[in-house]
């Protein structure tokens, strides 16, 4: 219970920070943290599916992308090379992969989600038998994410090319 | 005779007008010949129609009771004949006088168009048809005045148009009221008691009639036109045509359309207008220094006698009024034409510059003298006869004040004509103008014809009174009232005639007093009266057009327009231009300020919106 | 051909023909001019062939079912035929005049496109017997006008164009709301099915917004004087002949022909009409811009037409319908005269003009004749219309209204003659020769037509009478 | 066949980055446009079956085994599919030339196609959670696309968009979860059935409120609109057209009303609430649009205002109102798509979108100017263009439902609408040419072509509104008007 309260407090604090901070980078980072907390809360509340989603998509991929792109771009659109960026990118990327991997693993193995319904089973079963369609959407999301990365980082590549 | 002749009476002059308009300006004589011949033919047609008496032509026109309805009967035939006669004389006169006018094509065109419209107005037996022709005359009047080619001609033309338009619109209103109350527009079918709305209709139609005739206060364009318009126009329109038409209609109004009782309020209003016109206009005439302008004021003043006569609503008065109309048309036409003759030879009509022309222009002088005496009411000329009848009529109403006004008018009429004649034709020969000679025959002839007519109508007054006037009144007055006015027409030995003659003597005295005072200069003969204490100020004001209703009306219109524009139109526009736009801007500005780009702000709205939606839904569910 | 076919042709020839104008313009200048004149001429001729149908007096209803009951209904009766003839004829004259007037302007493709669209939409409006289609054509006209008013593209001109568009569009959508209210009451947009239906005061008010804004009646009139920035041909088309008559026509079609409106509202309209007439006449007396004066004069004259229709006695109605014709001819003439003068002197302020009668006599005389017609002097056509309106007003016992209307007529005389005097008389300030024959010819023919319309008034009057009896029949 | 709406764009999108390595321009252009043209063709082919059957249910089997891949197509979905295909085809045509100066066409097209696939998916799935998922897919793609220009404004806008959108998604997800908890199911049919038997009005009410907020934010209803005026103008013009023309309608309006009508059932109270939201949007956004200097910002506010109309019509709930709302949805999609593309043309031509700097382009760029005029007048509801009919139908429906106040405001707001479109016209096109723009030339071929196609659609739909209405609008409106019976009869 205590953990939950801490998480909730963290969630609120970081959410508020995300909202209030005028520096976009800091705001985005706060958002990422908040989302992370939220994902964990979902997870603890036995709503792992939502939790996965929250962490994987919102907290992870997209926020990170934004932090980076914002950090890379000054007001006039020039590329800003800074150390923080170099550090932040690997850190967040690794973090994202680790968390995502852990969550997915645990989800697929042991959690019997969607308890109601004729064929209650493991998440994997549900995912494949009943909610096949969501898989398509997941593929879409991943595709979108990848493509977004490609698109948003192209400027950097271009700059390097030049 | 087929009744289509009536249509041709109207169309023929119109066709002639178009032909005359189309003849190129370079071709000489042809135009004059056609004009004289055509007007002669019309004059002949006038006789022909007069002998016919009753003809009528009805055909469909606009529907709704508005028919093309022409009716010839005694009265209209008489007026038609008179009109045609004057047209003929004017054409004859113009043949020489206007020969070299730069816009001669238009002149004849308008002349015949005006004739066409006048004939139409006289023959019309439907009010709409009447007002159609009646108002159309405004255009020809307008056009003819602009032919004066003076700098102010157009201004005067506009003035005549607006005054005339005002009067005619009043008449439209009157006709409308009459139509609304009687349900018919046929002129021979209407006979109503002037009560209530019908009284209003009477007054409105009366304004139309006396406005055309040029009674006060609708006269003010005439003196201006005297200077700005061709003199033949003055002889043509204000002197003859308009008087004939205006008084014709006034007589029809009082005799046919409405039953005007002697001494009723409406009759008294009419008499007041008549009396006021006589006196005020003659006072203005007296002091004029220009021959034509002097005549023009008389043209106004004399209308007063006619209106007064008809306003008495007593047979002798009415007959006097109508008779005065035809008499006035003759001598005033003659007077204008003789002034034109003088102008033709000397190039001026200013009294100061003229003098002693009688020797060089004897025929003109003779014609002028006869006409001047006729207008002054000297025995045995026609003016005497008709004025006496009017005096009798006025006295019979029981309001001697009107007769007195008429006599005052007579005094100053004579005085002013003594002054005019004295300054122009008699007295010492002016040195300011070179030696000259009598005008050409076509100019002199009409003057002399008119002079002869003046004498004839005076001496043989039986002829006009019995053939023209009496039949008009037949059946219109109470039974038993004598309709033979010839008995005392030239009677010198009755109190009324005595007073009239006394007036003439006073006038003579005044003239010679003024002449003596003015250093024996005839044109200054009116100065003693001009310089009387109160009169002097009034004269000055009137010179400054203070009493000119038109000027005041124009000022009023301009003021009203400004008020309407500034206080109604512009504020409305302001609403579109400024108020709407600024309201839009204000709202937009407020809302835009709310969109300040702060994420926190936006999120707050979102959350707030959510809370509101939840709350509303829960409220609604209760 | 059957009248229905002719009517469809009359509507669609200009509408579809308009689409070909830019194409023709792309090929050659002359082809486009020829094509526009052909379209205009054909429309006029075809609408003239409907006269026999009008004289028969009956009506023909043609309809084509569309979704949601928004059917295309055409009503071919004396009233619509009368309007279509006037509009197409004056439109045609204006196209001819434009050949000279617009000769050197840019954007001519757009100009002719919009003018033909205008004429086509007008035809559609006149014949449509369905409220929605009426509105549709109504707005199409507004679009055409908007482009045409801002034709010269100066900044303030375009602002004025926007103003005109917004005011008329605003009025029209409010009117649409009124239409829909009626639809809510009757369940149909088809005018033929709604005859004799009594409608509420609210609906009347809403619809009046549309009519007054289009017909430039106080207090929705100020866009019209401002619209004088358009090419003169357009202002002639807008102000005189066609555009401002739309509201009036709609009044006749809706409030006389179809619906029963509450008596109080009728009285209100009468008073508003006559006040509008007076106020605009006052404004015309104060203005100094040639075209603005004429525009205010139009507002004033429209007041008479509304007056005639709203008092709704047969005399007044026929007067008002006749007014549409007479004012169309005369005011188009006045505007086109103004066009010639402005084109020649490059000035618009009448105080800077003068004495032009010496250099352009035909224009001056035409102007004067048309002015006389607008004033209402016989024997010109305007006399009869004004007379009948006023007599009809008196028949309806509206004595003071009639008196005010006559007073306005005096004011009209005053300001129009003032313009004439300041522009054409007096000292010659800017010598300028008359313009091309096509321009002067059109102006002169309009003046002559005004005269002829007065002298031969019984012919148009027959058509008007047919329309009036048709309307009056429904009144009873 | 129906499944191709999702799969084809996804597949193409997946391969595009690779193809982009081979051919930078030609192949991506051809492939994308061909795919979209195929979809459009496909959607037209589907009209007949829908007309005869009313709906189509398809299950996909994979390797002989029936996998639970189910899609449902009815009149409403088909109408949306058609709209999406039509507008996106025009947008991609436009992009052929427009994307030249952004570069990376392949990436762009890939994201673009993902977004389309997601929208198609959203329209086709009969399942609450799938709706949420596809909504997110489309959203993710759109975040990236909004920021595609990589300027700081674009990124900031995209960030705001993302941040607000996430809030919306969270609430939608929350609501779905609650409904799942209540009924134990997620498919439309089962949920609809389940909710009927359930007496949980309060909870359901809160769920609906979350839906309204979540989807309302996607649809940019006031007061959930704030992200839109930043996001839409920042995106490249084709994406603005997609977002304003389609995305807000699909992930906002379609989702909201599909769920409200077909799953939960629209109660009169809800209808009133949504109408109020709609009318506020109509009015406030119209006023806001009036003050804008940036063409695209003005268009963005206009989108909010027009969405208000659509919601007004749909929320009214009468068959006529629904028809009007849907018709307006279509008309707004085409016309606003056109206008945003057009603003792209303007930017391409002059390099600016600031109204105060533009002026008199009408003479120089007649096609851009003419098509802009058509689009603007259509949205403003000026006949004979398409927008007129839809507004007319909405207002008729309002009056028929005795909602006079709404009708009056809707009418007055259309005057405001015309006002600000006239501002664009006046300041950009209809005036004298500025010195600065003497040398400008008409937009390239494909941009003009896309503009012309959309303009023609606005015009022709207006003129031939009857067949369009009968073919597309009326089946869609019937599907919605049937309420939850529509999904119950699917028999899933």
pLDDT tens readout for residues C5-40: 898 999 999 999 888 888 888 888 888 888 999 999
CB D310 within 8 A of CB D250: no
CB B201 within 8 A of CB B177: yes
Interface confidence (ipTM) of the complex: 0.84
Taking all residues of chain B, what is their mean pLDDT, rounded to a whole number? 85
Q: Give D341 or B343, the one with higher predicted confidence.
A: D341
Query: Residue D114 is nearest to which of A76, A129, A147, comparing CB atoms?
Result: A147
Measure Cα distances from B94 to A18, B104, B149 in Å.
104, 10, 16
Q: Which of C305, C352, C333, C336 is nearest to C448 (CA)?
A: C333
Interstrand relation of C197-198 and D55-62 (parallel, antiparallel or unpaired): unpaired
Q: Which of C217, C240, C422 is nearest to C331 (CA)?
A: C240
Query: Residue B165 is nearest to which of C318, C388, C410, comparing CB atoms?
Result: C410
In D303-318, which positions are buried (b, 16+ CB within 10 angstroms) versus exposed (e)?
A: bbbbbbbbbbbbbbbb
D55: alpha, beta or left, given left = phi > 0 and alpha = psi -120 to 50?
beta
- In the predicted model, what is the mean pLDDT of residues C129-136? 90
CB D57 within 8 A of CB D72: yes
Name the pLDDT band for D163 (thresholds 50, 70, 90): confident
pLDDT digits (tens, 9 = 90+) for C31-49: 888 899 999 999 999 999 9
How many angstroms separate the most distant Cα atoms in chain C?
A: 65
Count of CB atoms within 10 A of residue B216's CB? 23
Tell me phi and psi for residue D351, to 5 degrees: 85, 5
How many angstroms separate the most distant Cα atoms in chain D?
A: 71
User: Exposed, middle or buried, B478 (CB in 10 Å: 0-12/13-18/19+)?
Assistant: exposed
pLDDT digits (tens, 9 = 90+) for A115-150: 444 444 455 555 555 565 666 776 777 777 777 777
Q: Which of A40-49, B374-383, D91-100, D233-242 has the lowest mean pLDDT?
A: A40-49
Contact D422 C165 (CB under 8 A): yes
- In the predicted model, what is the mean pLDDT of residues C149-171? 87
User: What's the rounded Cα separation, in Å, for the pair A100 and A92?
Assistant: 12
Residue A91 scores a pLDDT above 60? no
User: Exposed, middle or buried, D44 (CB in 10 Å: 0-12/13-18/19+)?
Assistant: middle
Taking all residues of chain D, what is their mean pLDDT, rounded to a whole number? 87
Tokens standing for B256?
A: 């046919």
Q: Give D218 or B440, the one with higher predicted confidence.
A: D218
User: What's the rounded Cα separation, in Å, for the pair D461 and B498?
Assistant: 98
Query: Residue B617 is nearest to which of D164, D208, D227, comparing CB atoms?
Result: D208
Sign of CA dihedral B438, B439, B442, B446: negative
User: Exposed, middle or buried, D328 (CB in 10 Å: 0-12/13-18/19+)?
Assistant: buried
The total domain count for chain A is 1
Contact D320 C68 (CB under 8 A): yes
Min Cα separation A17/chain D (Å)? 13
- Per cent of chain C over pLDDT 70 is 98
Tokens standing for C367?
A: 């102007």
List of chain C residues whose C-beta atoms are within 8 Å of the C-beta of residue D430: 147, 150, 153, 158, 161
Q: Give C386 or A18, the one with higher predicted confidence.
A: C386
pTM (2 decimals)? 0.88
Contact C150 D393 (CB under 8 A): no
Q: Write the DSSP assignment of D214-272 as a string of letters.
A: HHHHHHT-TTS-TTHHHHHHHS-HHHHHHIIIIIIIIIIIIHHHIIIIIII---HHHHH
Which residue of C18, C134, C158 to mutate against D (max D Cβ within 10 Å)?
C158
Tokens standing for D181?
A: 């908890």
Residue D305 scores a pLDDT above 90? yes
Task: Say what the pLDDT of residue D37 is.
Answer: 92
Query: Residue C406 is nearest to which of B68, B128, B173, comparing CB atoms?
Result: B173
Helix intervals (H) in C187-252: 201-214, 223-226, 232-235, 243-251
Task: Say what the pLDDT of residue A116 is.
Answer: 45
Indicate contact of D with A: 3+ CB pairs under 8 A. yes
Residue given tokens 């003579």 in the structure block: B508
Helix intervals (H) in B189-314: 197-213, 221-228, 231-234, 242-252, 265-286, 291-312
Q: Which residues pair with A79 in a beta bridge?
A: A73
Q: Is D388 on the interface with C (CB under 8 A)?
A: yes
Interface of D with B in 170-229 (CB under 8 A): 171, 201-202, 205-206, 208-210, 212-213, 216-217, 223-224, 226-227, 229
- In the predicted model, what is the mean pLDDT of residues C313-341? 89
User: What's the rounded Cα separation, in Å, for the pair C394 and C400?
Assistant: 9
Which residue of B596, B597, B598, B599 to mutate against A (max A Cβ within 10 Å)?
B599
Contact D213 B610 (CB under 8 A): yes
Question: Of all helices (H) and strands (E), which one includes residue B68?
Answer: strand B66-72
Task: Say what the pLDDT of residue A78 is.
Answer: 43
Task: Say what the pLDDT of residue A80 is.
Answer: 43
Question: Of all helices (H) and strands (E), which one includes residue B396?
Answer: helix B382-396
- Helix, strand, coil proportions of chain D in percent (round to 5)? 80, 5, 15
Min Cα separation A27/chain B (Å)? 10
Residue C168 scores a pLDDT above 80? yes
User: What's the rounded Cα separation, in Å, for the pair B522 and B420?
Assistant: 8
User: What's the rounded Cα separation, in Å, for the pair D303 and D229?
Assistant: 9
The domain ranges of chain C are 262-476
User: What's the rounded Cα separation, in Å, for the pair B348 and B367?
Assistant: 19
Interstrand relation of C60-64 and B66-72 (parallel, antiparallel or unpaired): unpaired
Residue A66 scores a pLDDT above 70? no
Count of CB atoms within 10 A of residue A2's CB? 6
Query: Residue A134 is nearest to which of D133, D163, D169, comparing CB atoms?
Result: D133
pLDDT digits (tens, 9 = 90+) for B232-274: 888 888 888 888 888 899 888 888 888 888 778 888 888 888 8
Query: Residue D399 is nearest to which of C154, C170, C181, comparing CB atoms?
Result: C181
Of chain C, the end-to-end C-alpha distance in Å amounts to: 33
Interstrand relation of D55-62 and D65-74 (parallel, antiparallel or unpaired): antiparallel
Task: Say what the pLDDT of residue A118 is.
Answer: 42
Tokens standing for D84?
A: 């999406």
Tokens standing for C152?
A: 């010269």
Which residue of B576, B577, B578, B580 to mutate against C (max C Cβ within 10 Å)?
B576
Name the pLDDT band for D19 (thresholds 50, 70, 90): confident
Range of the domain at D281: 4-488
Count of CB atoms within 10 A of residue B97's CB? 24
- In the predicted model, what is the mean pLDDT of residues D309-328? 92
- In the predicted model, what is the mean pLDDT of residues B118-136? 90
Task: Say what the pLDDT of residue C475 is.
Answer: 57
Tell me phi and psi for residue B71, to 5 degrees: -140, 130
Task: Say what the pLDDT of residue A86 is.
Answer: 44
Q: Is A157 on the interface with D (CB under 8 A)?
A: no
- Residue B425, CB half-sphere, CA atoms under 13 Å: how many? 23
The SS3 assignment for A75 reads coil
Task: Say what the pLDDT of residue D335 is.
Answer: 94
pLDDT digits (tens, 9 = 90+) for C248-284: 999 988 888 888 888 888 889 999 999 999 999 999 9
User: What's the rounded Cα separation, in Å, for the pair D280 and D271?
Assistant: 14
Helix intervals (H) in B64-123: 74-97, 104-123
Contact A137 D151 (CB under 8 A): no
User: What's the rounded Cα separation, in Å, for the pair D288 and D304?
Assistant: 10
Task: Say what the pLDDT of residue B485 is.
Answer: 72
List of chain C residues whose C-beta atoms are within 8 Å of the C-beta of residue D383: 135-137, 139-140
Measure Cα distances from D209 to B24, B613, D129, D214, D316 in Å.
92, 6, 17, 8, 17
User: Exposed, middle or buried, B544 (CB in 10 Å: 0-12/13-18/19+)?
Assistant: exposed
The SS3 assignment for D58 reads strand
Tokens standing for B598?
A: 């702060």
Residue given tokens 């035939």 in the structure block: B77
Chain B positions contacting chain D at CB under 8 Å are 584-585, 587-589, 591-592, 595, 597, 599, 601-603, 605-610, 613-614, 616-618, 620-621
Measure Cα distances from B333 to B44, B236, D211 in Å.
20, 7, 99
List of chain A residues whose C-beta atoms are within 8 Å of the C-beta of residue D127: 133
Contact D377 C153 (CB under 8 A): no
pLDDT digits (tens, 9 = 90+) for C428-437: 877 777 767 8
Query: Residue A151 is nearest to which of D107, D152, D163, comparing CB atoms?
Result: D107
Contact C67 D470 (CB under 8 A): yes
Tell me phi and psi for residue C219, to 5 degrees: -100, 20
Taking all residues of chain C, what is their mean pLDDT, rounded to a whole number? 87
Q: Which residues pair with B58 in a beta bridge?
A: B69
* CB proximity list for D153: less than 8 A, separation 6 or greater: D234
The three-state (H, E, C) secondary structure of D67-94, written as one string: EEEEEEEEHHHHHHHHHHHHHHHHHHHH
Interface of D with C in 404-463 (CB under 8 A): 404, 407-408, 411-412, 414-415, 418-419, 422-423, 425-426, 430-432
Q: Write the DSSP assignment of B515-544 as a string of letters.
A: HHHTTT-GGGTTHHHHTSHHHHHHHHHHHT
């Amino acid at each position: 219970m205590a953990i939950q309260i801490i998480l909730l407090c963290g969630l609120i604090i970081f959410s508020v920070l995300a909202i209030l901070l005028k520096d976009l980078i800091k705001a985005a980072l706060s958002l990422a943290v908040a989302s992370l907390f939220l994902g964990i809360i979902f997870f603890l509340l036995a709503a792992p599916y939502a939790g996965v989603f929250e962490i994987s998509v919102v907290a992870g991929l997209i926020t990170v992308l934004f932090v980076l792109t914002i950090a890379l771009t000054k007001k006039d659109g020039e590329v800003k090379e800074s150390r923080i960026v170099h550090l932040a990118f690997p850190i967040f990327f690794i973090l994202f992969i680790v968390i995502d991997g852990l969550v997915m693993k645990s989800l697929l193995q042991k959690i019997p989600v969607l308890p109601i319904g004729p064929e209650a089973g493991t998440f994997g079963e549900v995912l494949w038998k009943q909610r096949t369609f969501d898989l398509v959407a997941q593929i879409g999301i991943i595709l979108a994410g990848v493509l977004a990365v490609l698109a948003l980082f192209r400027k950097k590549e271009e700059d390097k090319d030049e | 005779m087929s009744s289509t002749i009536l249509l041709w009476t109207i169309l023929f002059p119109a066709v002639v007008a178009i032909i005359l308009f189309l003849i190129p300006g370079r071709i000489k004589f042809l135009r004059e010949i056609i004009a004289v011949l055509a007007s002669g033919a019309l004059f002949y047609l006038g006789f022909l129609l007069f002998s016919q008496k009753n003809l009528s032509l009805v055909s469909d026109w606009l529907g709704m009771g508005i028919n093309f309805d022409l009716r010839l009967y005694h009265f209209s035939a008489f007026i038609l004949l008179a009109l045609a006669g004057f047209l003929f004389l004017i054409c004859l006169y113009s043949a020489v006088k206007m020969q070299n006018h730069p816009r001669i094509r238009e002149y004849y065109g308008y002349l015949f168009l005006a004739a066409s419209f006048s004939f139409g107005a006289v023959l019309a037996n439907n009010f709409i048809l009447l007002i159609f022709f009646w108002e159309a005359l405004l255009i020809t009047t307008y056009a003819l005045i602009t032919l004066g080619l003076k700098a102010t001609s157009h201004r005067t033309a506009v003035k005549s148009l607006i005054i005339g338009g005002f009067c005619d619109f009043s008449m439209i209103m009157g006709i409308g009221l009459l139509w609304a109350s009687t349900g018919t527009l046929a002129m021979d079918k209407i006979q109503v008691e002037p009560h209530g709305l019908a009284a209003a209709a009477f007054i409105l139609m009366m304004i139309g009639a006396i406005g055309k005739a040029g009674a006060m206060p609708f006269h003010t364009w005439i003196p201006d036109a005297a200077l700005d318009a061709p003199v033949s126009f003055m002889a043509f329109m204000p002197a003859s045509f308009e008087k004939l038409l205006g008084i014709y209609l006034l007589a029809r109004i009082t005799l046919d359309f409405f039953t005007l009782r002697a001494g009723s309020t409406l009759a008294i209003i009419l008499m007041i207008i008549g009396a006021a016109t006589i006196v005020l206009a003659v006072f203005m005439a007296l002091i004029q220094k220009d021959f034509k302008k002097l005549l023009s004021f008389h043209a106004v003043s004399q209308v007063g006698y006619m209106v007064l006569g008809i306003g008495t609503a007593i047979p002798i008065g009415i007959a006097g009024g109508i008779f005065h109309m035809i008499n006035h048309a003759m001598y005033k036409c003659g007077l204008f034409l003789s002034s034109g003759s003088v102008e033709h030879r000397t190039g001026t009509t200013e009294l100061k510059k003229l003098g002693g022309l009688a020797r060089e222009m004897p025929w003109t002088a003779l014609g002028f003298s006869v006409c001047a005496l006729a207008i002054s009411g000297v025995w045995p000329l026609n003016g005497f006869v008709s004025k006496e009848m009017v005096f009798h009529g006025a006295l019979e109403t029981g309001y001697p004040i009107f007769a007195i006004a008429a006599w005052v008018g007579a005094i100053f009429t004579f005085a002013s004509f003594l002054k005019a004649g004295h300054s122009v034709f008699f007295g010492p020969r002016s040195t300011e103008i070179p030696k000259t000679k009598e005008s050409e025959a076509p100019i002199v002839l009409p003057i002399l014809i008119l002079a002869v007519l003046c004498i004839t109508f005076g001496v043989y007054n039986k002829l006009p009174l019995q053939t023209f006037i009496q039949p008009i009144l037949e059946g219109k007055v109470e039974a038993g009232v004598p309709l033979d006015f010839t008995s005392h027409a030239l009677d010198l030995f009755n109190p009324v005639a005595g007073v009239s003659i006394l007036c003439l003597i006073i006038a003579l005295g005044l003239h010679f007093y003024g002449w003596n005072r003015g250093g024996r200069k005839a044109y200054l003969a009116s100065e003693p009266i001009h310089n009387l204490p109160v009169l002097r100020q009034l004269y000055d004001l009137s010179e400054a057009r203070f009493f000119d209703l038109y000027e005041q009306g124009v000022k009023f219109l301009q003021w009203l327009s400004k008020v309407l524009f500034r206080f109604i139109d512009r504020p409305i526009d302001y609403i579109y231009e400024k108020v709407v736009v600024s309201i839009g801007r204000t709202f937009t500005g407020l809302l835009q300020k709310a969109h300040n780009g702060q994420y926190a702000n936006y999120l707050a709205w979102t959350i707030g919106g959510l809370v509101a939606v939840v709350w509303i839904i829960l409220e609604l569910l209760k | 051909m059957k009248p229905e076919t002719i009517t469809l042709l009359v509507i669609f020839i200009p509408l579809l023909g308009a689409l070909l104008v830019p194409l023709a313009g792309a090929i050659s200048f002359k082809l486009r001019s020829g094509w526009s004149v052909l379209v205009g001429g054909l429309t006029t001729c075809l609408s003239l062939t409907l006269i026999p149908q009008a004289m028969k007096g009956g009506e023909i209803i043609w309809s084509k079912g569309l979704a949601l009951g928004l059917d295309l209904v055409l009503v071919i009766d004396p009233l619509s035929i009368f309007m279509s003839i006037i509009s197409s004829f004056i439109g045609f004259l204006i196209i001819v005049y434009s050949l000279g007037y617009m000769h050197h302007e840019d954007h001519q493709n757009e100009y002719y496109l919009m003018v033909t669209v205008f004429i086509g939409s007008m035809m559609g409006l006149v014949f449509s017997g369905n409220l929605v289609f009426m509105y549709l054509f109504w707005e199409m006209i507004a679009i055409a006008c908007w482009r045409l008013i801002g034709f010269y593209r100066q900044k303030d001109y375009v602002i004025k164009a926007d103003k005109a568009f917004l005011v008329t569009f605003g009025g029209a959508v409010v009117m649409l709301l009124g239409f829909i209210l009626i639809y809510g009451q009757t369940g149909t947009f088809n005018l033929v099915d709604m005859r004799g239906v009594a409608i509420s005061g609210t609906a009347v008010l809403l619809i009046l917004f549309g009519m007054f804004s289009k017909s430039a009646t106080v207090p929705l009139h100020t866009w019209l004087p401002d619209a004088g920035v358009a090419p003169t041909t357009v202002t002639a088309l807008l102000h005189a002949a066609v555009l401002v008559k739309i509201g009036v026509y709609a009044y006749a079609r809706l409030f006389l022909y179809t619906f029963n409106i509450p008596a109080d509202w009728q009285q209100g309209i009468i008073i508003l009409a006559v006040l509008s007439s007076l106020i605009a006449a006052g404004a015309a007396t104060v203005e100094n811009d040639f075209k603005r004066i004429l525009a205010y004069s139009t507002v004033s004259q429209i007041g008479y037409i509304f007056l005639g229709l709203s008092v709704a006695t047969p005399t007044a109605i026929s007067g008002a319908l006749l007014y549409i014709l007479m004012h169309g001819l005369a005011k188009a003439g006045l505007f086109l005269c103004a066009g010639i003068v402005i084109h020649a002197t490059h000035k618009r302020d009448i105080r800077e003009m003068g004495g032009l009668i010496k250099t352009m006599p035909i224009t001056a005389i035409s102007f004067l004749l048309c002015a006389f017609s607008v004033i209402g002097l016989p024997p010109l056509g305007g006399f009869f219309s004004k007379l009948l309106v006023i007599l009809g007003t008196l028949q309806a016992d509206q004595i003071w209204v009639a008196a005010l209307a006559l007073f306005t007529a005096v004011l009209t005389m005053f300001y129009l003659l003032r313009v004439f005097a300041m522009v054409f008389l007096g000292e010659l300030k800017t010598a300028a020769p008359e313009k091309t024959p096509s321009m002067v010819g059109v102006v002169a023919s309009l003046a002559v037509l005004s005269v002829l319309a007065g002298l031969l008034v019984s012919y148009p009057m027959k058509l008007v009478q047919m329309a009036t009896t048709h309307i009056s029949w429904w009144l009873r | 066949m129906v499944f191709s709406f999702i799969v084809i764009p996804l597949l193409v999108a997946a391969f595009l980055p690779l193809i982009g390595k081979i051919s930078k321009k030609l192949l991506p252009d051809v492939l994308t446009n061909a795919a979209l043209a195929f979809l459009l063709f496909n959607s037209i082919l589907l009209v007949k079956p829908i007309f005869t059957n009313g709906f189509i249910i398809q299950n996909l089997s994979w390797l002989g085994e029936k996998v639970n891949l189910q899609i449902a197509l009815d009149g409403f979905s088909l109408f949306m599919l058609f709209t999406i295909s039509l507008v996106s085809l025009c947008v991609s045509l436009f992009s052929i030339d427009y994307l030249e100066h952004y570069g990376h066409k392949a990436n762009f097209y890939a994201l673009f196609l993902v977004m389309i696939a997601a929208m198609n998916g959203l329209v086709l799935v009969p399942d609450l959670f799938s709706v949420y998922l596809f909504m997110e897919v489309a959203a993710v793609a759109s975040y990236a696309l909004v920021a595609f220009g990589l300027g700081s404004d674009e990124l900031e806008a995209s960030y705001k968009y993302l941040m607000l959108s996430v809030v919306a998604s969270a609430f939608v997800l929350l609501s779905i979860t609650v409904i799942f908890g209540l009924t134990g199911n997620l498919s439309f049919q089962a949920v609809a059935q389940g909710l009927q038997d359930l007496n949980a009005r309060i909870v359901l009410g809160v769920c609906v409120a979350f839906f309204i907020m979540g989807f309302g934010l996607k649809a940019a209803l006031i007061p959930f609109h704030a992200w839109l005026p930043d996001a839409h103008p920042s995106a490249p013009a084709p994406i603005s057209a997609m977002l304003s023309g389609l995305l807000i309608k699909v992930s906002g309006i379609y989702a909201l009303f599909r769920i409200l009508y077909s799953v939960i059932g629209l109660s009169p109270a809800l209808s009133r609430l949504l109408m109020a939201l709609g009318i506020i949007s109509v009015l406030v956004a119209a006023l806001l649009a009036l003050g804008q200097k940036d063409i695209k910002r003005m268009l963005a506010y206009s989108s909010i205002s027009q969405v208000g109309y659509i919601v007004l019509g749909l929320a009214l709930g009468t068959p006529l109102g629904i028809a009007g709302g849907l018709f307006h949805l279509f008309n707004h999609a085409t016309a606003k798509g056109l206008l945003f593309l057009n603003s792209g043309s303007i930017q391409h031509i002059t390099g600016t979108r600031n109204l105060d700097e533009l002026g008199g382009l009408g003479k120089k760029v007649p096609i851009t100017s003419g098509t802009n005029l058509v689009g603007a007048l259509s949205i403003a509801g000026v006949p004979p263009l398409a927008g007129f009919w839809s507004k007319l139908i909405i207002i008729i429906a309002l009056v028929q439902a005795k909602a006079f106040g709404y009708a009056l405001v809707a009418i007055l707001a259309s005057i405001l609408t015309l006002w600000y479109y006239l501002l664009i016209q006046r300041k950009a096109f209809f005036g004298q040419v500025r010195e600065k723009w003497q040398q400008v030339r008409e937009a390239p071929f494909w941009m003009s072509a896309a503009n012309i196609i959309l303009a023609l659609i606005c015009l022709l739909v207006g003129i031939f509104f009857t067949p369009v209405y009968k073919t597309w609008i009326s089946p869609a409106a019937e599907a919605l008007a049937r309420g939850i019976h529509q999904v119950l009869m699917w028999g899933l």
